[in-house]
Chains A and B, each alone.
Chain A
């Protein structure tokens, strides 16, 4: 339990399991959930009955907050952000929120402050 009390995404303290895990941006989740929904539609007449409320809410949410409607754009964004030494979590927060200035980016992902050295050369 003590691990959870120290948890703080602003300092990238999210636990080893999630630090090493694959993080997904909203647009990427949208593609996965759409695909799954299509699979369900093919195998049964009424897919809406089969999905949980969690699935439905998540699907609505990622569709509404996807910044990139085009899967190619999403891939490009990930490619570009992956060039910097960012953690997966940081990469996805930036991809999801699209900060317009450096100040905003640091406010959204305070843990990148240590990487500001890289950003200043972009």
Chain B
């Protein structure tokens, strides 16, 4: 789920950036440092939307670097266990399928795919019901429930299921 939250970070700036453009340099460095990163607590930082506050800089002992505490607003993506969301299938194999929801990858094991769907190998490996009415293959859109998350150093990985009610392949949504 996407959230708009305020985060804080201590930014260290080299003296070469001091001067008229100090704040611009600070903001540019912040965006470069923080956008695209991931933490277990806040999830993926997708984009910084604004700077709320830049505190007074503190000169570090022994070096000329200055540390500024910066409060900024950003859009984050944080998947939660128990959350239901829509994702795009990226790979299908006999163990299950991988799907992507934004920056996060979700694996759905074949044990958590309804029993009436069977794996079909071939050029376009897929899971299909016995009557062929429902098919899950690469680029299919599915609605799944996250049942577990694992946090790595740089990303969050999820396990999902489509075995519950109202989960599975999505038919084309009507755009309003």
List residues of A whose CB falls within 8 A of some B CB: 4, 7-11, 14, 17-18, 21-26, 28-29, 32-33, 36, 51-55, 57-58, 61-62, 64-70, 73, 89, 92-93, 96-99, 103-104, 107-109
B165 engages A107 (CB within 8 Å): yes
- Beyond A10-B82, A23-B1, A65-B173, 13 extra complex contacts between A and B, CB < 8 Å: A11-B82, A18-B78, A22-B5, A29-B46, A32-B47, A33-B47, A55-B46, A57-B102, A69-B175, A70-B176, A97-B85, A104-B166, A107-B84
In chain B, positions 98-144 with a C-beta closer than 8 Å to chain A are 100-103, 141, 143
Asked if B83 is at the interface of the complex by the 8 Å CB criterion, the answer is yes
Total residue contacts A-B, CB cutoff 8 A: 130
Give the Cβ gap from A27 to chain B, nearest Cβ, in Å.
9
Give the B interface residue count (CB, 8 A). 40
A66 CA to B174 CA in the complex, in Å? 10
In chain B, positions 27-57 with a C-beta closer than 8 Å to chain A are 35-38, 40-41, 44-47, 49
List residues of B whose CB falls within 8 A of some A CB: 1-5, 35-38, 40-41, 44-47, 49, 75, 77-78, 80-86, 88, 100-103, 141, 143, 146, 164-166, 173, 175-176
A66 CA to B101 CA in the complex, in Å? 13
